[in-house]
Amino acid sequence: MRNFCDSKQMATVIRNELAAKGVRLSRAESLEIIAKAFGSVDWNTLAAMIKRAEGVVGDAPEREPAASWPEVIQPFYKRHLTPEERRGQWGQLFDQARTLFEADTDATSDDVLELALRWLRLAHATTGGDRELRAKYSAAYTEALADPEVAPKLPLSRELLDWFAPALKRAAPLLAT
């Protein structure tokens, strides 16, 4: 349940709901309405109460930084999505790569090339085509593979990635055309 510390989110909900009904409010107007709903004279008064309640002095928080949104949302994903749904497209690609690798499929086969094409398309979508970001993801996975405690828990092994690398190199120019 929300409380006055959630005032900004509540103001956004009110603003969006009223906009859907044809009533336009500015962000400031919606904040003022929420402030009055909580019995404050105005938004500035309520904002000061929120800062005090959250332990903020001036502009510096006195508490640990909040968790990132992927960490915060995990319990909700677990409640609403199956494990397969949470794994998404990457999980499906990892599964297919493992299946082909474990079946000792020729890395030059059309099946592996098709997987490499889908892999590169998803990598492009994930990084927005930013080569530097893609290199960072690669470096992070490479470092994780080098950690003997982490490597066995990863979805793809060094051996599988070595097997798959030629298909990725073969697929890259096909996407450019």
Kindly list the domain boundaries of the chain, sorted by start residue: 4-61, 69-176
Global pTM value: 0.57
pLDDT of residue 5: 83
| Residue 44 structure tokens | 């500035």
DSSP 34-97: HHHHTT-SSHHHHHHHHHHHTTEETTEESSPPPPPHHHHHHHHHHHHS-HHHHHHHHHHHHHHH
C-alpha to C-alpha distance for 108 and 21, rounded to whole angstroms: 58
DSSP 136: H
pLDDT tens, 129-147?
Answer: 898 998 999 999 999 999 9
Bridge partners of residue 60, in order along the sequence: 57
Q: What is the pLDDT of residue 118?
A: 95
